Structure 1
Amino acid sequence: MDWYIGVLKKYMVFKGRARRKEYWIFILFNMLISLVLSLVDEQFGTFNPEIGIGTLGTIYALFVFLPTLAVTVRRLHDADRTGWWALLGLIPFGVFVLLAMQAFEGTKGENRFGPDPKGDQTKSGTFTV
């Protein structure tokens, strides 16, 4: 839950880098919360099957839009890619390419977007994901 809250605290932070764990935990919580809100929308009759989302789901989606975009850009930065790659999500099937990009490990050590978010594991002798 700390990873999810941490991303929300960095609401508009597009600079720097984000670990895979930070990105994927945030995405997982988004999916779970969206699922629960869809069920609640169905129970209250506020779910619109034509557009596939209800009132509560829409409010939540608007709330997390910028944090999701920001963590996506920071995750791309971790792989030493510019944040403009996030625009792949706007083209058909581009979101799948974008998700695949997020799955790979980031650049070890410092890159042009900042220091490694994992820190230097070579000194401590431990590896964390």
Structure 2
Amino acid sequence: MSNVPLIFQPLVKYVDFQGRARRSEFWLWVLLRIVVGMVMGTVITTVMFSGMNFQHPDPSQFMGRYFTVMPLLQIVNLGLLLPSIAVAVRRLHDTNRSGWWYIMPIVVAIVGVVLFFIFAGTQLFSAIGTGEGTMTDAQGMKLFFTVMGSMFLFVFLPVLVAEIVMLVFYVSDGTPGANRFGPDPKGRGVMETPEVMF
């Protein structure tokens, strides 16, 4: 496995959630995912628009090509999903953090969406619950800005903070020497027996 270039290590450790991954392994994998996405996007766009008559476009031809090539992109994305999660978990392990931190932005997003719908729903029902059935332009604008503000407050801002926290974790140097998840991938210190696997 040591002969495999670092950028392809996550493919070799496809669903390996144990151990640690150094920063270079994680960020080279992120770079590879971006390059693969750009290549796939270029190929799919070329296939979808090649031979199209833009003077008299045929939407059915475009949609037919769309539904032909998009499954290919989704298959590639699904194929790269598990190694992406695994290398992120191992990167967290390198900083002596549990892999469960990986789902923190997802949990924050779900809680934020639930709170947003509760708040926005109450605002909407209170605005139209007057019995008149119509709103003035000023009331409509006030409702719009209230809903958009609550979306920012409950969803976008917490998710942004959660993603910044995860970014700090991912760019942090790993624990020097062995930690509870295994030996230092940089070879610093001596190996200890891992206590926690996820």
- Cα root mean square deviation, aligned: 2.1
Larger Rg: 2
Equivalences for residues 66-105 of structure 1 within 5 A: 66-90=82-106, 91=109, 92-93=159-160, 94-105=162-173
1:42 and 1:18, CA in 2 relative to 1: closer, same or farther beyond 3 A?
same
Of 23, 44, 67 in structure 2, the residue corresponding to residue 20 of structure 1 is 23
Cα deviation, 1:8-38, whole Å, max 9, x if unaligned, reads: 0101100100000000001101101101101
Partner of 1:125: none
Equivalences for residues 87-126 of structure 1 within 5 A: 87-90=103-106, 91=109, 92-93=159-160, 94-120=162-188
The 2-side partners of 1:56 and 1:115 are apart by 38
Percent of aligned pairs sharing the same letter: 39
Please, which moves more after superposition, 89-98 or 64-73?
89-98
Whether 1:61 aligns to 2:64 is no
Cα deviation, 1:37-82, whole Å, max 9, x if unaligned, reads: 011111111568xxxxx43332211011000000000000000000
How far has the Cα of 1:95 moved from its partner?
A: 3.3
SS at match of 1:120: coil
The 1-side partners of 2:71 and 2:164 are apart by 27
- Which has the larger share of helix? 2
Aligned residues: 117
The 1-side partners of 2:105 and 2:73 are apart by 20
SS at match of 1:11: coil
Please, which moves more after superposition, 83-92 or 25-34?
83-92
Whether 1:31 aligns to 2:99 is no
> What amino acid does structure 1 have at the position aligned with 2:10?
V
> What amino acid does structure 2 have at the position aligned with 1:31?
I
TM-score between the two structures when normalised by the length of structure 1: 0.81
Q: Which runs of 5+ in 2 are unaligned?
A: 49-64, 110-158, 190-198
TM-score between the two structures when normalised by the length of structure 2: 0.54
Q: Which runs of 5+ in 1 are unaligned?
A: 49-53, 122-129
Partner of 1:6: 9
> What amino acid does structure 2 have at the position aligned with 1:84?
W
